[in-house]
Amino acid sequence: MTVRLIDSLATTEPLAKLFSDESLLGAMLEFEVALARAEARCGVIPKKVAEAIAASADVNHFDISAFAHATFRAGTPAIPLVKRLTEQVRKRNGEAARFVHWGATSQDVADSAMSLLLTRAAPILNSDLSKLERALAELSNRHKQSVMLGRTLLQAAPPVTFGLKAAGWLASVRRGGESLRNAFGDAAVLQFGGASGTLASLGSKGNAVAAALAKELKLKLPEAPWHTHRDRWATLICACGVLTGSLAKMARDVSLLMQNEVEEAAEPGGAGRGGSSTMPHKRNPIACSLTLAAAHRLPGLVSSYLSAMVQEHERGVGGWQAEWPIISSTIQLTGVAMVSMAEVAEGLVASPKNMRANIEKTNGVIFAERAMMLLGSKLGRDAAHKILEAATRKCISENRQLAEVLAGIPEVARHLDRSSLQELQVPEKYLGSAEDFRRALLSGSAMLKRKP
């Protein structure tokens, strides 16, 4: 297992492996090999030199612990990387050792390696995002007629449908997912500028080598080196923060619906999932907890990255060096939130029976707005509001149904007939445009559009 125990609640196995020491080191070596091949193709170095560098760039030649210590001493991973790689190349070809890292600078290696990891993180997150979107669409369709309490400020409000709630989750996740996909596309950019971002050491061949290097690494070639311009990655970090916030909103809703006093929905259970070390009866919202934990941490990381954008001139002091752990943690937290909520959506157990029972427990007071609107057209809104305010207080103090109390008020009885009062507390009769909105949210850009 590649996940460290301390990170076991903050990442997934695939993402932990992707951001492991071996993976990051491998990406840096990949850059050095691609650089040599690009320069050989452009006639900057001999082809045999590139072959010797490629043959020597093996992660197994590195002592990770020693490499990490040397990185701390040097302030950059590139110095010990180039030193060790040069030693390995020299064993094969003494002449080739002179051309290791030719024309590049430390940040070229570090940033391009991270760009490579980001290109590999994107499909991992996209896979879980697609699962989540499919599951939420199915959940919404399955419960399009499942009426439940609306809840405003955590208090009972007029009814909605669980299908509409799920569609709201889906639409928010879709918007965040689209932003994240676009940000990943923009973030997969080559960094190659040499000492001051001009590639002066490569003379007239700088642009050609950069283009060849981008092709080798399958990274986008930017207009120019971007050493201290971190907006592309900042956009990605912010997109992760927004999407994780949307996932956490869903997690908060589900965890509240799981409360014993509510019991309208529940996460999927299973062996080793959701139990308690001391209370055998518990079915805890574990996936929701992991998602909410990720959402607690991410705003600080987003803020840290934005602060680190303020970098000096052509090479930053401290800002650039702060980025690797921020990016790694951000992507992994987004991933654990995404996989957690995909699990929830795919296995969520909803109870329309309990949803309706919770509506009935209100004795109809959630339909006071409906009664007020019916009366308001006859008596005026203010007069109707006063009547319903008094009526609902009576419902609560005497534990009586709203329709029953209203039927005993002469002023109401003169304007609302028995049929109107009988229908007053039927949830399906007071859903307004809920289904239109649900379908519009589900449609996105492909299905139904909300009619003007």
Give the residue numbers annotated as catalytic, written as ranges: 276, 315
Coil, strand or helix: which one is 110? helix
- The Cα–Cα gap between 446 and 170 comes to 14
CA angle 404, 406, 411 (to 5 degrees): 145
Distance of CA 439 to the CA centre of its chain: 24
* Sign (positive or negative) of CA dihedral 189, 192, 195, 199: negative
CA distance 130 to 173: 10
As to burial, measured by CB atoms within 10 angstroms (0-12 exposed, 13-18 middle, 19+ buried), residue 203 is exposed
The CA distance from 295 to 154, in Å, is 21
Q: How many CA atoms lie within 13 A of 168 on its CB side?
A: 13
Phi, psi of 255 (to 5 degrees): -65, -35
The pair of structure tokens assigned to 372 is: 């007020």
Nearest to 267 by CA among 284, 292, 247, 244: 284
Phi, psi of 148 (to 5 degrees): -150, 165
Tokens of 305: 């990255």
Q: Is 23 helix (H, G, I), strand (E, B) or coil?
A: helix
Q: How many CB atoms lie under 10 A from the CB of residue 445?
A: 7
271: phi > 0 → left, psi -120 to 50 → alpha, else beta; which?
Answer: beta
**Distance between CA atoms of 205 and 39, rounded to whole angstroms?**
9
CA–centroid distance for 130 within its chain: 12
Separation of first and last alpha carbons in the chain: 54
